[in-house]
Amino acid sequence: GLLMVSCCLHGKAEAPVADLRPACSALGRQLGFELPRAALRKASLWAPGSSTSPGKCKSRLALRRLLELRGAARDRSKMHSTYPRLRGKGTGETEAFRAELLTDTLQRHGLPAPSSSELADAEAFARVAEPSFRRLELITPLIGDAVEMAISLDRATALEESGL
């Protein structure tokens, strides 16, 4: 039997694959075919802008800003549409709700609650960044399709090389 595992699962930090996913086929290895986790996360996904509410998008952008202000932001190359995780806290459709959500999330990260000026800065950043962020997310399905195709072709080549 053959088990095909979606690439988006391999994009998760806890996945049992190397950060640069090596090729399965000899030809792929010879050609240096490797994909980073960030690319694997794009596979099998709809455009996050189409499935993520504007409130959740703004909440994530505001939280990123607060983490940057606190010097606790992760490597920007690892930031994607679902980072940072909000863990079922709701969508944050209103500024008041978003302020509570951001405070809870920062405290869960072991950081003190944000000041009113930090919250205002984060809100302003999210309000300005959200439209362009959502437009850029429109290309996600295109990248995901290319990643899926490349991995499927590599797997098919590996099967062919093994005589299957």
The 10s digit of each residue's pLDDT in 25-63 is 999 999 999 888 777 776 655 444 445 566 777 888 888
> What are 71-93's pLDDT values in tens digits?
766 555 555 555 555 555 555 56
Tell me, yes or no, if the pTM score tops 0.75: no
Residue 156 above 60 pLDDT?
Answer: yes
The pLDDT of residue 161: 95
Residue 145 to residue 74: CA distance in whole angstroms: 27
Cα separation of 109 and 163, whole Å? 50
